[in-house]
């Protein structure tokens, strides 16, 4: 019995050792499994990127091909009589057509029609109508609504331009005056004040030369280790930059940012550079931006005043700001109305007229849905909302020439 039990144990032990040896992976498998895993990840990444590029395609051309980008005396301006067809990932194919003065105005530059009240509007890409067909922009819709409400012809000549931030608007204010306005409408956005000192963008070519210089410096290092490490850092930075610019990331952001709460919380984590204007106590940087805005506004208002032309200003909220106002709540230490109050104080202190459309966003559920989720410019629906809000404020008495009696305004709103 004992001998048989011993033989059984030995046999079991031998079988177990043999099974263990059979289960041990050969070296080839240790090499193949990670490679297969890596190939699977690559396949999934390529598939996701292919899907994203089909869903969020973009044109090979961009709107900057119709712009003069290197003139610091005027800032960015349109190339006269140019036309560009552009599609960014979140938009439809959009035409940008500029008249002989380089404006996306929908009309030729020159004197207004007799008997017409002319508004000349200035500002940045929101005003220009980036990503939206011109007929759908508030620059096109607003004069139609003002004509309907006031009962006399109103036209709007648009000199708004991409990168037309505060200081750039002041640099090109002579174009506003040259259009012979009856009223000047400066439509500002938070980015215009954040980038108030901006004039012209950096050159893409110079960025390429910067990369060449870094590679040359890396190759010039004496130590092979230092040389390899520097080249690896350059390659890693390029890979991460490419990954951040991937269409997959944009697709994921596009859908995630459809959630109002997720978008606002993500935006507020973005740092003071972009979200600082929403803080109840602006940082030193934002206070500096406001001081420069004060200087530029004073300059423009002085020129408008000397010409006897009413100068009207309004702040358009960005996507996060509109969402916070609609929600009616925000974290402690933030105030989405703060910049609005600051800009009002600046404009009115120099004799200008300020109209306020921010409170109107409280009545709109999820107004951020009318902005492109990642690009953040208003879509066609957003432009229609803005046009209605501007018409309401401009005809409410702030501008005497456009004032509509209260009873008429209520009747027209019901008709509309």
Over the stretch 322-344, which tens digit does the pLDDT of each residue have? 999 999 999 999 999 999 999 99
**What's the number of domains the chain is made of?**
1
Is 369 part of a structural domain of the chain?
Answer: yes
- Spatial distance between the Cα atoms of 80 and 225, rounded to a whole number of angstroms: 54
Q: What are the φ/ψ torsions at residue 271 (nearest 5 degrees)?
A: 100, 160
- Would 236 be classed as within a structural domain? no
229 vs 168: CA distance, rounded Å: 42
7, 274, 287 from 342: Cα distances, Å = 93, 17, 10
> DSSP alpha helices (H): ranges in 151-271?
166-171, 173-178, 190-194, 204-219, 224-244, 247-256, 260-268
Q: What is the mean pLDDT of residues 280-306?
A: 96
pLDDT at 220: 62
Query: What is the predicted pLDDT for the residue at 212?
Result: 56
CA–CA gap between residue 203 and residue 166 (Å, rounded): 21
Q: What's the CATH number where 359 sits?
A: 3.40.50.1110
Has residue 9 got a pLDDT over 70?
no
What one-character DSSP code corresponds to residue 179?
Answer: T
> What pLDDT score was predicted for residue 274?
87
Q: Is 171 or 31 the better-scoring residue by pLDDT? A: 171
Question: Which tokens hold the place of 330?
Answer: 């925000």
Q: What average pLDDT does this structure show over 50-79?
A: 90
| Domain assignment of residue 233, yes or no | no
Does residue 26 form part of some domain? no
The confidence score (pLDDT) of residue 13 equals 47
User: Which residue pairs from 98-104 have beta carbons closer than 8 angstroms and sit at least 24 positions apart in sequence?
Assistant: 98/66, 101/175, 102/68, 102/77, 102/78, 103/78, 103/157, 103/158, 103/159, 103/161, 103/175, 104/78, 104/128, 104/129, 104/134, 104/158, 104/160, 104/161
Please report whether residue 156 resides in a domain.
Answer: yes
In this prediction the pTM is 0.81
Lowest mean pLDDT among 128-137, 195-204, 206-215: 206-215
Average pLDDT, the chain: 86
* For residues 260-282, average pLDDT: 92
Tally Cβ neighbours within 10 Å of residue 237: 12
The residues, ordered by sequence, that sit 6+ positions from 119 with a Cβ below 8 Å of its Cβ are 142, 143, 146, 154, 155, 156, 157, 181, 182, 183, 184, 185
H helix runs in 137-203, sequence order: 138-150, 166-171, 173-178, 190-194
pLDDT tens for 180-200 read: 999 999 999 999 999 998 888
Q: What is the pLDDT of residue 207?
A: 42
386 in any annotated domain? yes
What tens digit of pLDDT does each residue of 16-40 get?
A: 544 445 566 676 666 677 777 777 8
Bridge partners (DSSP) of residue 187 are 123, 314
Which among 359, 369, 334 has a CA at the least distance from the CA of 260? 369
Task: Give the residue carrying structure tokens 């960025």.
Answer: 207
Look at residue 401 and tell me whether its pLDDT is greater than 70.
yes
- Grade residue 8 by pLDDT with cuts at 50, 70 and 90: very low
So what's the pLDDT on residue 392?
97
Q: Quote the domain boundaries for residue 372.
A: 67-199+266-415
In a domain, 210, yes or no: no
pLDDT exceeds cutoff 70 at 175? yes
Residue 158 in tokens: 């648009």
C-alpha distance across the termini of the chain, in Å: 103
Q: How far apart are CA 153 and CA 388, in angstroms?
A: 17
Confirm whether 228 is domain-assigned.
Answer: no
* Residue 225 pLDDT > 70: no
Q: Is 67 a residue whose pLDDT tops 90?
A: yes
Percent of the chain with pLDDT over 90: 65
């Amino acid at each position: 019995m004992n001998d048989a039990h011993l033989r059984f144990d030995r046999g079991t032990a031998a079988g177990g050792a043999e099974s263990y040896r059979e289960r041990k992976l050969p070296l080839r498998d240790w090499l193949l499994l990670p490679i297969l895993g890596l190939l699977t990840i690559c396949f999934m990444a390529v598939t996701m990127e292919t899907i994203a590029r089909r869903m969020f395609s973009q044109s090979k051309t961009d709107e900057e091909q119709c712009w003069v980008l290197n003139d610091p005396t005027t800032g960015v301006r349109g190339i006269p009589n140019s036309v560009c067809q552009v599609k960014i990932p979140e938009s439809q194919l959009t035409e940008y057509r500029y008249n002989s003065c380089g404006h996306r105005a929908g009309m030729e530059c020159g004197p207004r029609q007799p008997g017409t009240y002319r508004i000349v509007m200035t500002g940045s890409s929101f005003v220009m109508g980036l990503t939206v067909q011109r007929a759908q922009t508030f620059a096109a819709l607003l004069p139609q609504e003002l004509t309907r409400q006031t009962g006399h012809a109103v036209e709007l000549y648009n000199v708004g331009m991409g990168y037309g931030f505060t200081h750039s608007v002041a640099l090109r204010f002579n174009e506003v005056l040259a259009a012979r306005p009856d009223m000047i409408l400066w439509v500002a956005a938070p980015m215009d004040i954040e980038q108030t000192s901006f004039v012209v963008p950096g050159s893409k070519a110079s960025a390429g030369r910067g990369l060449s210089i870094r590679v040359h410096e890396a190759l010039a290092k004496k130590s092979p280790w230092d040389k390899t490490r520097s080249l690896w850092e350059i390659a890693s930075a390029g890979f991460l930059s490419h990954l951040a610019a991937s269409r997959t990331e944009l697709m994921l952001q596009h859908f995630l940012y459809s959630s109002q709460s997720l978008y606002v919380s993500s935006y507020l984590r973005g740092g003071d550079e972009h979200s600082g204007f929403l803080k109840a106590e602006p940082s030193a940087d934002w206070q500096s931006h406001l001081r420069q805005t004060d200087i530029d506004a004073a300059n423009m208002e002085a020129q408008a005043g000397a010409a006897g032309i009413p100068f009207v200003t309004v702040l358009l909220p960005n996507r996060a700001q509109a969402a916070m106002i609609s929600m009616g709540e925000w974290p402690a230490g933030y105030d989405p109305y703060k910049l609005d109050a600051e800009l009002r104080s600046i404009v009115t202190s120099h004799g200008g007229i300020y109209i306020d459309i921010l409170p109107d966003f409280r009545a709109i559920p999820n107004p951020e849905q009318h902005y492109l989720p990642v690009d953040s410019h208003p879509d066609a629906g957003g432009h229609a909302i803005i046009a209605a809000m501007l018409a309401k404020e401009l005809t409410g008495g702030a501008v005497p020439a456009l004032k509509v009696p209260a009873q008429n305004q209520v009747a027209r709103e019901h008709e509309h």
